[in-house]
């Protein structure tokens, strides 16, 4: 007779464990099945020492087990302890093979033959599934691994990493510190990788620390009994077969999701899409009554959420109603809304009034609102000012706002309930282009850029909607701010967003011009072939347009436009635009005057000798996306490093500037120092959201940095590094008179001193925003070699130097 | 946009110094003391006080330089003033003395002042000339990159030498051991290089082999490969050695050029720093002599 339980939980990940722990503390008959010999296999298999985060930070945890951000080891220890204390009934090495629904119970069969019965089943099996093998002879040799537990355990080996996903990249980069790493990539790019990882691997390949064979597949793996290497791998490469001698193979080829198993239990998936998750009710019940799904399999990959769901599902099974964990948070936010009665009602109202937010499920909306603020500004209150550096997104739930487009005439556009504003900050990273004032009965949802970006990336419909409105507004504000949207309908219809990688050509000199490009994000260089050389004439930033000359008169492109950095443009079709110009003579006059200004500027640039070269050099170093970059004139720089010393001394002992590193051209040296990018790469993926932009434009890292290193990996210029606060050192006089301490500047690395155990945080230049007088590096340069300028001054700068 | 120390604030301190100097010279020429002009006349005392205060202010530069969060002017402004006013000090000190020189503490003070100021002139010359020379010499490589490449060349040249002859291997090994880059003051300022002797020995060896070779033998051209792959096993034959030797010579030539560049880089930087080891200690000696000079004038008159 099989054992019968009230609740059977499959999988001891955060969700399953939490459910089992709660059932244990309530005294409910339960069993937790785990296929491995330890808890939470996915987290168990994380890299040694990996920092695990506990997002979302403000969400309360309602599980009997503890969970706080920390190392993999500390989290696993806390869970093991908690599970032992509550005497949870765990059956290790019990892989569930089949779940069959009988009349009023479920029959559970394990792969080791044992059978069990349960009234309710909770599936917390996550998405790990079965690891894919290499698929060639030799895939089971002892030196072929499918997991990497501790990258530091191997050193001096030749290791082949097969795979192009995040796991493969992270493993390759970690191993490359002490080993020779070769990456085998089936395709010619790392398409699925997170941006930080993509940047890291491409940089490593470029520097030569990792070798990568694209469009290559393994053919055979053999063990060797002679020679210094353990094995030999045969590869199929585009240029034929090749052999390499290796010590180890690490294959990170992903896993096949446990879809077959789940479907065999009777659960229906909404589509054939491999990324689809089964539909569940708000109480986590699947289409099979009594079968519940929680955690990553239900579409909630975050640990804290999964733990909360484990707790809640047991409550629901026992017939109790439990308020969602985020309810008190949301109630607090909605309090200020006039006429507020309950959170559910308020959410329904938001979805009714704002079509944009109606595209997402109520659960997604709740998550979205946790990150946002609900504002009810009084009529006349300023929501934000023109040229502000804020970048949050606003949805209008009720009432209206006035967008003041023309400062002098106070001309304004009214936006009403259901519309949105502030979207420019999402896309172009530039300052606010207009001031916004609240109207009557105004209720707004203010969402920070990061949460909005997340939403845009996950829900296609929202992205499309925002893009459409953005394009129309961008065209209107740039070309016809006085007239309404109707005139622009043809142009807007024909508008398309185009993407360019750094270095791509937007159009070539001499081509027939049939369109105009408005730069939505990024920047372009305009160059012309003069006397056989490509001379850069000017640099065009986001918010401006190129290509109008061909539409106004000359039909051929007078110069080549090339993307300086990753750029997005809105392409407007020539014919529709020409019609618009014909209908609007004022527009034509304005375009013509801008055209003649630009031609004059280009001509003067052409006549400068070598001026364009300096701009090209600066752009190639990525100065195009800077807002303020440090440049050193090497004919004045006496290499005294006073700039570095000043930086260290004004910032607690760690220098954020590396003067020597960095390229030089025509005596212009670009040191390794933060450029305070217009669209900061470091901000892209900061989990505690510690990187901000100050009102004067400085990008700085606040104190709540957790030291995860994402910003360091994401920065393409290597200006961020991890450092712990150095110990206090003897003062200047003690150093001068008694020789104590390392003296001013960053203390040089002392291998004999014990390694500091203090946590390392990210440090980078903050343009001395807290010091009066401005950047210490510039002020402390004795010869005037160091200056800080923005890209707008590049033409004047190169003119002065040629 | 980069203003140099000379042009700072529109040559402000140049005008200040010139005004000061003109004033002093005019006063000196107009002044008709009893006896000869000397430091004891009222003009002498005035100029002496000005000079002493100037010396103290000039030395304060060392402190301002190390106050990194100070916003009292910029360091460039201070250095500009330091240079112009320091130069003016030369003449003011001389005028103060009335050219009354002898073997005493007073003239010692003047002498020390001269040495300090002239060492400063060398510093100005170094700061104006050497930075561009350094950049040109570096040619877009960083110091670490040059050192790394020299390391790589050392390893590779040993591999090549291995394939040729134990004698050549010994030569290369010795040459590597004797390579010295940087070091003490003498080594930095007067760098020496041993790559020549290694290169000569290899060339000799090659010439000898060429002479011994049978006429009419063919040489095979092999592409250069610097890889992990052990290509030596694949090839064979005596002609191989000649090719190795030529490659070895290429490597040695490159190493010579790189170490030359690195030595020059270190030398230029050393030159830009060495004069301060004269300028600063001697200015403290000047301070001591100055105190003795002032005290002796007032108390042992």
- pLDDT single digits (tens) A169-178: 989 998 998 8
CB within 8 Å of chain B, chain A residues 164-183: 180
CB spacing of B71 vs A661 below 8 angstroms: no
Residue A257 confidence (pLDDT): 62
CB spacing of B79 vs A771 below 8 angstroms: no
Furthest CA-CA distance within chain A: 95
Residue carrying the six token digits 């390949």: A205
Verdict on whether the full-model pTM lies above 0.80:
no
Tell me the pLDDT tens digit for each residue of A731-775. Answer: 878 887 888 888 887 777 776 777 666 778 899 999 998 888 889
Are the beta carbons of A3 and A115 closer than 8 angstroms?
A: no
Q: Is A779 at the interface with chain B, CB within 8 A?
A: yes
Tokens found for residue B79: 């250095």
Chain A residues closer than 8 Å to B74 by CB: 778-781
Residue A698, SS3?
coil
- Cα A380 from Cα A438, distance rounded (Å): 5
In the beta sheet, which residues pair with residue A183?
Answer: A161, A212
Residue B81 confidence (pLDDT): 95
Candidates B4, B65, B135; nearest CB to A784: B4
Q: Which stretches within A208-282 are classed as H helix?
A: 259-264
CA angle B26, B32, B35 (to 5 degrees): 135
Nearest to A794 by CA among A644, A634, A629: A629
Question: CA of B75 to nearest chain A CA: how many angstroms apart?
Answer: 5
Across A37-46, A242-251, B158-167, least confident range: B158-167
Candidates B68, B228, B272; nearest CB to A638: B272
Residue A637 confidence (pLDDT): 93
Kindly state the DSSP code that residue A335 receives in the 8-state scheme: T
Candidates A180, A771, A800; nearest CB to B69: A771
Q: Is A634 at the interface with chain B, CB within 8 A?
A: yes
Residue B130 confidence (pLDDT): 94
Q: Determine the residue among A783, A797, A800 to mutate to test chain B binding: the one whose Cβ has the most chain B Cβ atoms within 10 Å.
A: A783
Residue carrying the six token digits 């970048």: A391
CB spacing of B3 vs A784 below 8 angstroms: yes
Q: Is the pLDDT of residue B138 over 50?
A: yes
| Res. B153 pLDDT band, cuts 50 70 90 | confident
Residue B123 confidence (pLDDT): 95
Residue B229 confidence (pLDDT): 30
User: Which helix (H) or strand (E) is A248 found in, with range?
Assistant: strand A248-251
Across A89-103, A220-234, A572-586, B194-208, least confident range: B194-208
With CA atoms as reference, the chain B residue closest to A180 would be B228
User: Which helix (H) or strand (E) is B75 found in, with range?
Assistant: helix B75-97
CB spacing of A642 vs B3 below 8 angstroms: no
Residue carrying the six token digits 């004919």: A635
Residue A123, SS3?
strand
- Cα A183 from Cα A190, distance rounded (Å): 11
Average pLDDT over residues A563-589: 82
Residue B268 confidence (pLDDT): 93
Chain A residues closer than 8 Å to B71 by CB: 771-773, 779
Tell me the pLDDT tens digit for each residue of A304-334. Answer: 888 998 999 999 999 888 887 788 888 888 8
Average pLDDT over residues A440-454: 84
Residues in Cβ contact with B51 at an 8 Å cutoff, skipping those fewer than 6 apart:
B89, B92, B93, B96
Question: What is the complex's ipTM, to 2 decimals?
Answer: 0.83
Are the beta carbons of A88 and A24 closer than 8 angstroms?
A: yes
- Which sign, positive or negative, has the C-alpha torsion A554, A555, A558, A561? positive
Residue B235 confidence (pLDDT): 39
- Helix axis angle, A362-371 to A449-458, nearest 10°: 160
- Cα A476 from Cα A489, distance rounded (Å): 10
Are the beta carbons of A100 and A107 closer than 8 angstroms?
A: yes
Tokens found for residue B45: 């005392």
Across A381-390, A593-602, B123-132, least confident range: A593-602
Q: Order of strands, edge to edge, in the sheet holding A560-563? A: A505-507, A560-563, A523-530, A533-541
Across A129-143, A343-357, A384-398, A404-418, least confident range: A404-418
Q: Is the pLDDT of residue A509 over 80?
A: yes
Q: Is A146 at the interface with chain B, CB within 8 A?
A: no
Are the beta carbons of A160 and A246 closer than 8 angstroms?
A: yes
Question: CA of B59 to nearest chain A CA: how many angstroms apart?
Answer: 15
Identify the contact set of chain B against chain A, taking CB-CB distances under 8 A: 1-5, 8, 65-66, 68-69, 71, 74-76, 78-79, 126-127, 130-132, 134-135, 138, 140, 142-143, 228, 269, 272
- Cα B108 from Cα A172, distance rounded (Å): 69
Tokens found for residue A453: 């970006």
- Cα B220 from Cα A181, distance rounded (Å): 34
Nearest to A451 by CA among A542, A566, A334, A365: A365
User: Which helix (H) or strand (E) is B262 found in, with range?
Assistant: helix B239-274
Phi, psi of A785 (to 5 degrees): -75, -30
Residue A736 confidence (pLDDT): 79
- Helix axis angle, B75-97 to B105-138, nearest 10°: 150
Chain B residues closer than 8 Å to A650 by CB: 68-69
With CA atoms as reference, the chain A residue closest to B68 would be A646
Q: Is A796 at the interface with chain B, CB within 8 A?
A: yes
Kindly state the DSSP code that residue A322 receives in the 8-state scheme: -
**Between A51 and A588, whose confidence is greater?**
A588
Phi, psi of A615 (to 5 degrees): -65, -45
In the beta sheet, which residues pair with residue A538?
Answer: A526
Residue A768 confidence (pLDDT): 92
Across A281-295, A519-533, A643-657, B274-288, least confident range: A519-533
Q: In this structure, how many other beta carbons lie within 10 angstroms of the beta carbon of residue A96?
A: 22
- Cα A14 from Cα A591, distance rounded (Å): 61
**Between A255 and A512, whose confidence is greater?**
A512
Residue A334 confidence (pLDDT): 87
Q: Determine the residue among B75, B80, B145 to mutate to test chain A binding: the one whose Cβ has the most chain A Cβ atoms within 10 Å.
A: B75
Average pLDDT over residues A415-443: 82
Are the beta carbons of A161 and A182 closer than 8 angstroms?
A: yes
User: What proportions of chain A, in percent to the nearest 5, are helix, strand and coil?
Assistant: 30, 25, 45
Chain B residues closer than 8 Å to A783 by CB: 4-5, 76, 79, 127
- Burial level of A666, CB count in 10 A (0-12/13-18/19+)? middle
In the beta sheet, which residues pair with residue A789?
Answer: A629
| Res. A133 pLDDT band, cuts 50 70 90 | confident
Q: Determine the residue among B5, B66, B72, B271 to mutate to test chain A binding: the one whose Cβ has the most chain A Cβ atoms within 10 Å.
A: B66
- The mean predicted confidence, pLDDT, of chain B is 84
Residue B225 confidence (pLDDT): 32
Average pLDDT over residues A39-53: 79
Q: Is the pLDDT of residue B267 over 80?
A: yes
Candidates B3, B4, B272; nearest CB to A639: B272
| Res. A122 pLDDT band, cuts 50 70 90 | very high
Average pLDDT over residues B93-120: 93
- Cα A683 from Cα A694, distance rounded (Å): 13
Tokens found for residue A331: 């109630």
CA torsion A738→A744→A746→A752, rounded to 10°?
Answer: -10
Q: Is the pLDDT of residue B281 over 90?
A: yes
User: Which helix (H) or strand (E) is A15 found in, with range?
Assistant: helix A14-26
CB spacing of B5 vs A793 below 8 angstroms: no
Are the beta carbons of A783 and B79 closer than 8 angstroms?
A: yes
Residue B234 confidence (pLDDT): 35
Kindly state the DSSP code that residue B206 receives in the 8-state scheme: H
Chain A residues closer than 8 Å to B276 by CB: none
Average pLDDT over residues A281-290: 86
Q: How far is CA A182 from CA A151, A193, A248, A251, A516, in A?
A: 15, 17, 11, 12, 44
Q: Is A783 at the interface with chain B, CB within 8 A?
A: yes
Q: How far is CA A707 from CA A451, A688, A701, A761, B266, in A?
A: 21, 10, 11, 4, 37
Q: Is the pLDDT of residue A671 over 70?
A: yes
Question: CA of B265 to nearest chain A CA: how many angstroms apart?
Answer: 11
Chain B residues closer than 8 Å to A661 by CB: 142
Average pLDDT over residues B43-67: 93
Chain A residues closer than 8 Å to B60 by CB: none
Q: Determine the residue among B8, B68, B140 to mutate to test chain A binding: the one whose Cβ has the most chain A Cβ atoms within 10 Å.
A: B68
Residue A24 confidence (pLDDT): 92
DSSP annotation string for A584-640: -HHHHHHHHHHHHHHHHHHHHHHHSSSHHHHHHHHHHTTGGG-SSEEEEETTT----
CB spacing of A649 vs B8 below 8 angstroms: no
With CA atoms as reference, the chain B residue closest to A659 would be B142
Residue B217 confidence (pLDDT): 43
Residue B218 confidence (pLDDT): 41
Candidates A649, A661, A773; nearest CB to B71: A773
Residue B194 confidence (pLDDT): 63
Interface A:B, Cβ pairs < 8 A: 89
Percent of chain A with pLDDT over 70: 94
Q: Which stretches within A86-218 are classed as H helix?
A: 166-175, 195-207
In the beta sheet, which residues pair with residue A144?
Answer: A249
Residue A117, SS3?
strand
Are the beta carbons of A386 and A435 closer than 8 angstroms?
A: yes
Nearest to A651 by CA among A789, A729, A764, A750: A764
Residue A427 confidence (pLDDT): 64
Chain A residues closer than 8 Å to B138 by CB: 664
Phi, psi of B54 (to 5 degrees): -60, -45
CB spacing of B65 vs A642 below 8 angstroms: yes
Residues in Cβ contact with A208 at an 8 Å cutoff, skipping those fewer than 6 apart:
none
Are the beta carbons of A285 and A309 closer than 8 angstroms?
A: no
With CA atoms as reference, the chain A residue closest to B76 would be A782
CB spacing of B76 vs A650 below 8 angstroms: no
Q: Is A787 at the interface with chain B, CB within 8 A?
A: yes
Give the highest mean pLDDT range of A5-9, A297-301, A459-463, A579-583.
Answer: A5-9
| Res. A677 pLDDT band, cuts 50 70 90 | confident
Tokens found for residue A135: 């698929």
- Cα A231 from Cα A134, distance rounded (Å): 15
Residues in Cβ contact with A116 at an 8 Å cutoff, skipping those fewer than 6 apart:
A2, A3, A4, A5, A8, A31, A107, A108, A110
Q: Is the pLDDT of residue A485 over 80?
A: no
Candidates B69, B131, B142; nearest CB to A638: B131
Are the beta carbons of A71 and A52 closer than 8 angstroms?
A: yes
Phi, psi of A667 (to 5 degrees): 65, 5
- Cα B157 from Cα B140, distance rounded (Å): 25
Residue A187 confidence (pLDDT): 82
Question: CA of A674 to nearest chain B CA: how many angstroms apart?
Answer: 20
């Amino acid at each position: 007779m099989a054992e019968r339980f009230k609740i059977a939980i499959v999988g001891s990940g955060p969700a399953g464990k939490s459910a089992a722990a709660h059932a244990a503390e309530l005294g409910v008959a339960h069993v937790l099945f785990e296929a491995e010999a330890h808890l939470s296999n996915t987290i168990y298999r994380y890299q040694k020492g990996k920092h695990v985060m506990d997002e979302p930070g403000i969400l309360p945890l309602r599980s009997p087990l503890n969970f706080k951000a920390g190392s993999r080891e500390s989290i696993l220890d806390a869970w093991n302890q908690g599970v032992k204390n509550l005497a949870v009934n765990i059956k290790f090495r019990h892989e569930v093979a089949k779940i069959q629904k009988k009349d009023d119970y479920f029959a559970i069969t394990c792969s080791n033959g044992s059978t069990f019965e349960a009234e309710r089943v909770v599936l917390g099996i996550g998405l790990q599934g079965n690891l894919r093998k290499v698929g060639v002879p030799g895939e089971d040799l002892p030196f072929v691994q499918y997991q990497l537990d501790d990258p530091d355990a191997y050193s001096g080996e030749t290791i082949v990493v097969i795979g192009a996903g995040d796991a493969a990249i992270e493993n390759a980069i970690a191993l490359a510190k002490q080993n020779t790493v070769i990456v085998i990539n089936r395709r010619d790019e790392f398409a699925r990788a997170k941006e930080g990882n993509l940047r890291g691997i491409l940089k490593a390949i470029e520097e030569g620390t990792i070798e990568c064979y694209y469009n290559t597949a393994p053919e055979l793996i053999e063990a060797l009994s002679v020679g210094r290497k353990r094995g030999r791998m045969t590869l199929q490469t585009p240029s034929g077969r090749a052999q390499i001698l290796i010590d180890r193979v690490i294959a990170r080829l992903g896993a096949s999701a446990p879809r077959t198993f789940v479907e065999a239990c009777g659960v229906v998936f909404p589509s054939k899409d491999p990324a689809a998750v089964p539909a569940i009710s708000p109480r986590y019940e699947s289409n099979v009554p009594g079968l519940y799904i929680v955690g990553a399999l239900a579409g909630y990959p975050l640990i804290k959420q999964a733990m909360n769901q484990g707790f809640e599902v047991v409550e629901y099974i026992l017939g109790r109603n439990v308020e969602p964990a985020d309810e008190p948070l949301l109630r607090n936010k909605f309090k200020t809304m006039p006429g507020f009665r309950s959170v559910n009602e308020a959410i329904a109202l938001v979805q009714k009034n704002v079509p944009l937010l109606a595209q997402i499920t109520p659960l997604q909306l709740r998550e979205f609102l946790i990150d946002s603020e609900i504002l009810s500004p009084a009529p006349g209150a300023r929501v934000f000012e023109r040229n502000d550096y804020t970048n949050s997104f606003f949805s209008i739930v009720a009432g209206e706002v006035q967008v003041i487009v023309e400062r002098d005439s106070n001309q304004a556009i009214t936006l009403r309930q259901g519309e949105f504003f502030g979207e420019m900050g999402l896309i172009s990273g530039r300052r606010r282009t207009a001031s916004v004032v609240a109207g009557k009965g105004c209720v707004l949802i203010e969402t920070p850029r990061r949460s909005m970006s997340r939403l845009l990336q996950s829900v296609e419909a929202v992205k499309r909607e925002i893009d459409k409105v953005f394009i129309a507004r961008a065209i209107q504000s740039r070309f016809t701010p006085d007239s309404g949207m109707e005139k622009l309908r043809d142009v807007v219809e024909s508008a398309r967003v185009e993407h360019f990688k750094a270095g791509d050509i937007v159009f070539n000199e001499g081509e027939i011009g049939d369109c105009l490009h408005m730069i939505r994000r990024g920047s372009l260089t305009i160059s012309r072939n003069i006397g056989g050389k490509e001379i850069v004439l000017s640099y065009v930033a986001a918010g401006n347009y190129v290509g109008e000359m061909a539409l106004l008169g000359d039909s051929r492109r007078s110069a080549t436009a090339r993307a300086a950095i990753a750029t997005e443009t809105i392409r407007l079709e020539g014919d529709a635009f020409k019609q618009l110009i014909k209908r609007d003579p004022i527009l034509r006059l304005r375009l013509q005057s801008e055209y003649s200004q630009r031609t004059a500027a280009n001509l003067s640039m052409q006549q400068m000798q070598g001026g364009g070269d300096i701009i090209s050099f600066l752009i190639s170093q990525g100065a195009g996306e800077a807002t303020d970059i440090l440049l050193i004139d090497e004919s004045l720089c006496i290499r005294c490093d006073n700039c570095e010393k000043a930086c260290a001394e004004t910032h607690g002992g760690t220098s954020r500037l590396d003067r020597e590193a960095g390229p030089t051209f025509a005596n212009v040296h670009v040191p390794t120092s933060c450029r305070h990018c217009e669209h900061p790469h470091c901000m892209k993926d900061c989990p505690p959201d510690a990187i901000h932009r100050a009102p004067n434009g400085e990008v700085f890292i606040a104190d709540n940095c957790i030291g995860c290193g994402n910003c360091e990996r994401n920065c393409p210029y290597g200006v961020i590094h991890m450092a712990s606060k150095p110990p206090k050192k003897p003062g200047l006089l003690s150093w001068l008179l008694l020789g104590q301490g390392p003296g001013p500047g960053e203390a040089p690395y002392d291998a004999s001193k014990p390694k500091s155990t203090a946590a390392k945080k990210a440090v980078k230049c903050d343009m001395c925003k807290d010091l009066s007088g401005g950047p210490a590096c510039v002020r402390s340069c004795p010869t005037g070699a160091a200056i800080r300028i923005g890209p707008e001054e590049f033409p004047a700068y190169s003119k002065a130097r040629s | 946009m980069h203003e140099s120390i000379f042009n700072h604030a529109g040559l402000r301190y140049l005008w200040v110094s010139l005004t000061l100097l003109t004033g002093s010279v005019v006063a000196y020429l107009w002044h008709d003391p009893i006896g000869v002009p000397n430091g004891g006349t009222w003009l002498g005392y005035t100029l002496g006080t000005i000079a002493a205060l100037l010396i103290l202010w000039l030395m304060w530069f060392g402190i301002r330089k190390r106050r990194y969060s100070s916003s009292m002017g910029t360091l460039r402004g201070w250095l500009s003033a330091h240079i112009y006013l320091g130069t003016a000090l030369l003449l003011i000190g001389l005028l103060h003395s009335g050219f009354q020189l002898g073997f005493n503490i007073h003239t010692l003070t003047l002498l020390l002042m001269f040495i300090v100021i002239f060492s400063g002139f060398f510093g100005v010359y170094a700061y104006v000339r050497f930075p561009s020379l350094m950049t040109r010499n570096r040619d877009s490589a960083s110091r670490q990159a040059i050192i790394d490449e020299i390391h790589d060349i050392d390893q590779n040249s040993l591999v090549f030498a291995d394939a040729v002859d134990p004698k050549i291997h010994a030569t290369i090994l010795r040459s590597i051991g004797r390579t010295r880059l940087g070091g003490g003051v003498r080594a930095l300022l007067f760098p020496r290089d041993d790559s020549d002797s290694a290169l000569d020995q290899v060339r000799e060896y090659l010439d000898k082999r060429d002479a011994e070779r049978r006429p009419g033998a063919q040489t095979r051209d092999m592409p250069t490969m610097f890889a992990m792959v052990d290509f030596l096993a694949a090839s064979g034959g005596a002609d191989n050695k000649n090719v190795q030797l030529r490659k070895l010579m290429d490597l040695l030539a490159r190493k010579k050029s790189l170490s030359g560049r690195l030595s020059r880089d270190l030398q230029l930087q050393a030159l830009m720093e060495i004069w301060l080891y004269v300028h600063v200690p001697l200015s403290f000696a000047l301070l001591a002599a100055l105190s003795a000079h002032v005290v002796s004038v007032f108390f042992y008159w």
